[in-house]
Structure 1
Amino acid sequence: MLQTWRRQWTRTTGTYRLAVAQRHNQCALVGTSSATIAAPQARKKNVSDFRVGVLGLGAIGTIFFTRLGRLATVSETRKELPILSVDALIKVEQFNTWVKKKKTATMQLVHDGQETETLEFQVLTTADKVATACNASNVRVCALGGSTGEPHDGHKLDVLLVTVKAHDSVGAIQSLRERHRHLLKNDALCVLLQNGLGEVPTEENRERIDNRWQIVSGVTFVGGRVLEFAKVKTSGLEAGKTYVAPLHRHGAETGLSGLEDTMTMPRERDDVKMQMLVDVLVAAGIHCKVLGSNEMQAMLWHKLIINAAINPLASLLNAPNRSVASSESSRRCVHLVVQEALAVAQCEQILLNRSQNELVDDVLEVARTTGSNVCSMLADLRRGSSRTEIDAMTGQIVAGGKRHGIPTPTNELLLLLIKALEEEREVRQSR
């Protein structure tokens, strides 16, 4: 169905007007690997450019980069959009494994019906550690630490989507600040898109973060499973929603641990940039919406509870998500996890507007609708990883319970069991 929309915003560097535009449901962006995308056509220079980076190509990073990359190949033909450039930033060893000394490489999303979306890349020189999409120089995969890694045409990123693991987010931003600061604009938005409540800069390391960068909370209900590097099987892509919001100043008020008062608050132009990101994501087929800070905290906790009820249980059962809803015993565990988590959320003054039974129903519904999906925690354990995101999920509930004197025995047991699995793998790696 066609949609008609009008939006106008003013940027510090001028005015960007989004005229009335009619858009199809991104049918040109979704298709098999043989789908053809129209070649870009030249546009007037006064149309704004918009540069997005994706840090990390796990399941979520690959989904967002592929969708944005496919949109970027046609953005110059769509007058309602800014001219889009997209960079994926990955480790050198990941880049080397991906290209395997070849001159071509691919990025793929595999849908439930086995339909695929594909981006094809060419590597001009392996020494540069940069792969450029075929016939689209504005879509690149760059190895951090490679000899190139410069922004498109010398222009820096407006937005960086941080899609690394929750426990790596602060370190990733610090590394960018220290080694790759030139890739981002001074007032760039850094959007944190991880499971759980994640981590944000603390008193101890705040001087190592460029406080001109604006930290933005993000949560996505889009799911996927990594089949191999740069190839992801999606789940809930069409129905899953993504939300962004300015990160609140005080950690105690948000439920996010360690947020320091000195972090720069969002400015008016950052709201403009955030809305532009939302519009680009929607055009790429990723449902997205801007929330207020309080709404975002409720959304983060809602997803936290769902993840804390599914990931540890499915990991201990060594089974896909459907296992969490498939037996009376597993459903009973879900009830106990939710009961404890809700009590902690209420003490944290998080307004979920959901009863315990409604939250349990939400968990079971997600477990069923993503039934074939292997959760990220189980995927990490199967790969032999000695660290999962359990601290950002169950660990937050247990820590909150201790702060408020609320017993969380079920979550504490799940935390210890997953920690035991992590330690077992760490011992194996040390042998």
Structure 2
Amino acid sequence: MSGASGAAVPGAAASGTGASGSAPVPAVPAAGAPTPAAPDQALERWRLVLGAPAEQWTGPLGPAAAAQDAALDWLYGRDEDLARRGVRRTPPPTREGGDGPSQLTAVDWLEDVHRLFPRETIERLERDAVERYGIEEIVTDPTVLERVEPSATLLRAVLRTKHLMDERLLTLARRIVEAVVRQLLERLRPELRQALTGTRSARPGTRRLARDFDFRRTVRANLGRYQPAERRILIERPHFHSRTRRHLEQWQLILLVDQSGSMVGSVIHSAVTAACLWGLPGLKTHLIAFDTAVVDLTADVTDPVELLMRVQLGGGTDIARAVDYAAGLVENPRRTIVAVISDFYEGGDRYRLVRAVRALVEQGSTVLGLAALDEEAAPAYDRDLAAQLARVGAHMGAMTPGMLATFVAERLGR
């Protein structure tokens, strides 16, 4: 063999002429020689978004981004549409036997995504894993349930799969339910109660009424004008409370919640909303769940965790039967709000439902049809039936719990 110099090793200067037949020896970079460039983070992000075909333009991934790509491939590699477009390069994991390397499990994958991605991305990946690809191991594997961070996505998954769980799994799943419900209660209770009852603030009011006189604040503000000889304070500026608390007469709020699988987010927020409103002065709250049967859950409203663990998602939908049940609870029609929370894909008698809603409206009740009651208020519903209900006097829409509380408060304030 000739003694021509060997090929240069990437990232190193070419070696000198080697001995005949010998392999080229990589040279040590000379002082001041440029070091290999670090991967461009912007290009790496585009590569992660666009998939393997983009690598010819973005270049190879660094170690950290490659680990992220592997985690993304484990999940989105099972997407047939993406596979046809060549966006992902790793086939979905199989359950076949063999002597190859062990497959990544849901537990391993969860640990990887919690290590590799920010919280917002983790929540999206977990949501897609459970809701888009049906990876039920995330909520039916005790190892996962012991380690996973509670989230609204996992709560929805627990409610959908709890019928598959044994006692040990149900105990672990309850931890997720309790944690998420506690977060929702802490966030929603002040908002809902303030919307319905108002507050009593300490700032000066514009209407100076004797019943709103703020004695303590007035004394503190005028202590400098105390007259020892006369043992009295000269009040230069009295202070008053600003009262915005509404006087509530007795009203009924009847929440009818469709417990079909597509309404799981609304079921959760209905349970929490009912718990927040329970015991408010002047408001009597009922919570009714329905599919083809009707279950009155009012007795469990004060414990939304237990209530959600009792809910059975799925089955058919008979909205008319639920509305008939609500009509039987009405005490004073003109002080009653019946909120039907459903996608309005009626499996029962549509004409019977329209007649029942018309009867409630004609006797003076307020009927509210909600295609969604959750934080996103993004509905998917039968628009034709919703239009029919609107024509007989129902108020149709989609709301967050706060918007529902404001709607109720407006009616109570009449």
TM-score in same-fold range (> 0.5): no
Q: Which has the higher contact order (CA 8 A, sep 6+)?
A: 1
TM-score by length of 1: 0.27
Name the structure where strand makes up a greater proportion of residues: 1
Q: TM-score, normalised by structure 2?
A: 0.28
Which has more helix, going by share of residues?
A: 2
